[in-house]
Amino acid sequence: MKKASITETKNKLSALIDGLKAGSPVLIVDRGRPVARLEAVTDGSEDELDGRLARLARDGVIRPGRVRAPRTLFTEQPPRLEEGTSAVGALIEERREGR
């Protein structure tokens, strides 16, 4: 996030707004203390979470998946382990088997 003083913000507002269009928010500081944040306004079509994810992807923090997750991942219950079985042990066994 870019930082700008109040004076710099007044003098270069147009340039800062152009940066916002590219997705670069600005932290406005007064004598080194943050006082405001300048961010682009979304059109309302993407919710707040999508905006955060898009920002993280743009910054290279996360990488979007190449394919969509299967719908059954969200609709079916996860498999249950047998009584007395360790989830960590099952994971280690799967890795040994190459799964």
pLDDT tens-place string over residues 14-64: 999 888 887 788 999 999 899 999 988 766 555 566 777 888 888 888 888
What pLDDT was estimated at residue 90? 84
pTM of the model: 0.43
Q: Go through the domains of the chain in sequence order and give each one's CATH number.
A: 1-99 (3.40.1620.10)
Could you give phi then psi for residue 27, rounded to 5 degrees?
-95, 120
Cβ neighbourhood burial of 81 (10 Å; 0-12, 13-18, 19+): exposed
DSSP E strand boundaries for 24-88: 26-30, 33-38
What pLDDT was estimated at residue 4? 93
H-only helix segments in 1-99: 6-11, 13-21, 48-58, 72-75, 87-97
Q: What is the mean pLDDT of residues 83-92?
A: 86
Euclidean distance between CA atoms 97 and 63, whole angstroms: 28
